[in-house]
Structure 1
Amino acid sequence: MKLEYEVDDKPNFLKSSLLGFQNILTAFSGIIAVPLSIAAIAGTNVAETSVLISAALLASGICSFIQTKGIFKGNAKVGIGLPTIMGTDFGFVPPANAVINTMGGGLAGYFGATIMGALLELILSFFIKPLLKFFPEVVTGTVITLIGITMMPVAFDWVGGGYGAENYGDPLFIGIAVFTFLLIIFINHYGRGFVTTASVFIAMIISYIICIPLNLVDFSQVAAAPWIRMPEIFPFGVKFDLKFVVPFIAGYLVTIIETVGVMKTLGTVCEVDLSDADIASGVRADAIGSMLSPVFGSGAAQTFSQNVGLIPLTKCASRKVALYSSFILIIMSFCPKFATLVSIMPTPILGGAGILMFGTIIGSGMQALSKAKFSTKNIMIIAGGIGVGIGITMRPDIVAKLPSLIAALFSSGISGGTIVAVILNILLVDKEY
């Protein structure tokens, strides 16, 4: 593959702007889906939800700039210096639900846990090589698969109109979700180039427009929202409690493993040789981004793999283009009308997209598992990790009477399943099946 624009190339303003906006279209559904998920979990009103979305856009822009530009030098370098788009990660939604609802921490507890967990990621970024031995492909694949599985009930709640909705399960809601689901598949399968890459975004916009004459969209909140609003510092407060960070530990460990893989892939498609120090700096940028994001009201940050896949498709690896993307995201975050317009999107649309997005995560986990050796040990790791994870997700109250520390460790399916998978990987002796 020959790149049209290499990393250090600088397309003109118009080309950089258009290619930069293309990056945003590819990542946009991922950027807004998590704050919408957190809003649904926390039960925020429309105004509060718009704050979460604006914060996610602002944090995405700032974090993308740091990761793409690269700051500082030597062992303290932060950011890989290659074109990336960062946003909030779905893997942190299950532990967020555990902190906000199960543990009663609310949004303040969620943001505090995000910062404390990011501190752990920052420390571990200096020890990338030895850490990887605890997460072989079988453990990583198990955890990634579990993330998708444990989020699927959330997607189906969205399909029904949102948990606790007055008309939960209304056939109209299900119809909208099914339409969105099928439209994404159609565009993704039959589209070409950028249309395929932006299939989720395109389908959500079309479904949104269809919902307007069906009286499923109320624009009164958009009319009331101001055009410009400055970001707030900790708009929902922050609360630090060590027990809140426990459900996030597994998510951050998985994030490190995923980021290492994304960084290696990024180096390949950008035709750049990366050292261990370069990869560590990328993980470090994820950590710094996850510490900064809650300050504005957003969740943990992670490099989006879909934008890495866009590089060989467009043959554009220009750092300048990615920096333009980060500037556009920051500008968009200052317009509450836009954020509110997104926040009133009917949840069945998100549900239709969510089934495919979470299903894709399951597929990624299965792909990782397919690379692992088919042995008795690995089968037990997969069975134990996924079994415990699903069980806790279905019956979270099962740990309620356990000692507080153990209950916190197993408060979400993802953390419980990861702990079991790691322990089994350490204890079991490998032998052929």
Structure 2
Amino acid sequence: MQNISKFFYTLLTTRTFWHPARPFPYRACILSDAQTPRPRYKSDLIYGLEDRPHFTAAIFAALQHVLASFVGIITPTLIVGGVLGLESEVPYLVSMALFVSGLGTFVQARTFGPIGSGLLCLQGTSFSFISVILSAGFMVKARGGGTDEILSTIFGICFFAAFIEVVLSQFIGKLRKLITPVVTGTIITLMGLSLIKVAVTDMAGGFGSSDLGAASNMGLAALVLLTIVVLNRFSNPFLRLGSIVIGLTLGFVVAWWMGRVDMAALPQVPLISVPVPFKYGFSFDWVAFIPVAVIFLISPLEAAGDLTANSMISQQPVKGPLYIKRIKSGLLADGLNSAMAATFNSLPMVTFAQNNGVIQLTGVASRYVAYFIAGLLVLLGLFPMIGAVLQLMPKPVLGGATLIMFGTVAVAGIKILAEAGLHRRNVLIVAISLGMGLGVAAVPEVLRDLPKALHNIFESPITVGAFCAIVLNIFLPEEFLELEEDEFDPESSTLKVMQDPDVTK
């Protein structure tokens, strides 16, 4: 019985099973370790970038990518919809997030002229924009705006802000001279820290909950949190990749058993979601636009790191003209995909880092697998019932998972700062920027006497921190060698940190 169990475990977890040119070691699985030596293969790719896997291998790898990224794609929408009170639109918005992720993934892999990296890069909604989008939504809500006005403003400003990344994609080398690692690290750290309050509030029951902080709420959140932590400590890569999905599923089931999930409250939704460009209208607000634009300033640097890591894992060049062209084309696709996302009522898109780990796990780097990923995501996006069911997920269950997600965003920023070097100049920049950003969030009254327009702009800790970091970085200069655009170094400190596939976006 033990040998049979070993056979099926190896059958499902080995990479070589899915490659016809490398026979699966059936005999080694069934016999004991003492009876036969284990065959050893080189740790190279099974399918390279331009290889075409057979259907079984392609669909298996595609499912792994979808499972690894599914929660990351839908969670920003669930958070924004829940916090801003847009529950009636959440099923449709979740569908559009999946739908646009599929389209964006296809664009990145297929390439259209200068658009697309030609890599197996999965596109998904970004956590980086949550805090500034929430600020924009609250601003519209404060002046009496309804659901349509909130969403039309959010998607309007995201549409125009996306073209910042489109333009900067062609000047990534120059951008790195202004947005240095110390600036990027500070902003990313602020993003994560500013979102912790959202996660902890959800753990306690959610904004406006009558039982905020109840033991049952904290218990559910703790269950999800501990499940994710325990699964991440296993050596099995499948359990690690699926830890968040498993944790949320377990939390949902336990909440249902406790009577916290009312399936009778499932909203009536159509069978199919029809993508409608700018369904909620199109609005624009300069005050809300500026914080979103700040995030789009650093998005190219994050995406460049993920694309570099993907190139390395896919055994593609990370220097020279081909690499530079691939980075520029990938960032151009990122920006245009974000504009497309706003058009189809979804939050901005970024290149996900999670799929780099899946490539390492499966040994499949073929960009043709992205076509299957895109098809699966588009198919999922056509069914609003998925979003309707996910909307019933109790806030404490979601909060237990997002606490880890947002915490890892902050840790990513700290790692960038550590890699940049915390000498005296950088310490001053980080200390002042973090202090001002977090200070405004903690004591918003400090902005009381500012003009209304400036007050609305600087009430976001991201905007305040980014402004301080950029200004201080300019006026506290240090000597460094300027890189020409064609000398863009993929192993610079910023990009090396971004290559970590375990950091959640």
- Give the TM-score of the pair, scaled to structure 2: 0.81
Determine what percentage of the aligned residue pairs are the same residue. Answer: 31
Question: Which structure would you say has the larger RCO, counting Cα contacts within 8 Å and 6 or more residues apart?
Answer: 1
Q: Structure 1: how far apart are the matches of 2:202 and 2:229? A: 19
1:248 aligns with 2:292: yes
Letter in 2 for 1:37: I
Q: Structure 2: how far apart are the matches of 1:40 and 1:291? A: 23
Letter in 2 for 1:65: F
1:349 aligns with 2:397: yes
The alpha-carbon deviation at position 22 of structure 1 amounts to 1.0
Secondary structure of residue in 2 paired with 1:233: coil
Q: Match for residue 64 of structure 1? A: 105
Letter in 2 for 1:159: M
Matched ranges for 1:213-228 at <5 A: 213-222=257-266, 224-228=268-272
1:101 aligns with 2:138: yes
Secondary structure of residue in 2 paired with 1:56: helix
Q: Structure 2: how far apart are the matches of 1:333 and 1:429? A: 48
**8 Å CA contact 1:53, 1:343 repeated in 2:** no
The one of 155, 159, 164 equivalent to 1:111 is 155
Q: Structure 2: how far apart are the matches of 1:376 and 1:43? A: 45
**8 Å CA contact 2:64, 2:358 repeated in 1:** no
Q: Structure 1: how far apart are the matches of 2:266 and 2:50? A: 41
Q: Match for residue 234 of structure 2? A: 190
1:321 aligns with 2:369: yes
Q: Match for residue 158 of structure 1? A: 202
Secondary structure of residue in 1 paired with 2:420: coil
**8 Å CA contact 1:249, 1:415 repeated in 2:** no
The one of 61, 65, 70 equivalent to 1:28 is 70
Secondary structure of residue in 2 paired with 1:167: coil
Q: Structure 2: how far apart are the matches of 1:200 and 1:385? A: 32
The alpha-carbon deviation at position 252 of structure 1 amounts to 0.7
The alpha-carbon deviation at position 223 of structure 1 amounts to 7.2
Q: Structure 2: how far apart are the matches of 1:365 and 1:357? A: 13
Matched ranges for 1:34-433 at <5 A: 34-45=76-87, 47-72=88-113, 77-104=114-141, 106-222=150-266, 224-273=268-317, 274-430=322-478
Secondary structure of residue in 2 paired with 1:318: coil
Q: Deviations over 1:133-167 (max 9, x none)?
A: 11221111111111110100000111011111122
Letter in 1 for 2:237: G
Secondary structure of residue in 2 paired with 1:302: strand
Between 302-311 and 174-183, report the one with greater CA deviation: 302-311
Q: Structure 2: how far apart are the matches of 1:19 and 1:310? A: 8
| Structure 2 runs not aligned, ≥5 long | 1-42, 142-148, 480-505
The alpha-carbon deviation at position 397 of structure 1 amounts to 4.6
- Give the TM-score of the pair, scaled to structure 1: 0.94
Q: Match for residue 12 of structure 1? A: 54
Instruction: Show structure 1 runs of 4+ deviating over 6 A.
Output: none
The alpha-carbon deviation at position 429 of structure 1 amounts to 3.9
Q: Structure 2: how far apart are the matches of 1:335 and 1:308? A: 28
Q: Match for residue 39 of structure 2? A: none
Q: Structure 1: how far apart are the matches of 2:417 and 2:107? A: 32
Q: Structure 2: how far apart are the matches of 1:411 and 1:305? A: 30
Q: Structure 1: how far apart are the matches of 2:293 and 2:432? A: 19
Change (3 A) 1:223 1:369: closer
**8 Å CA contact 2:288, 2:457 repeated in 1:** no
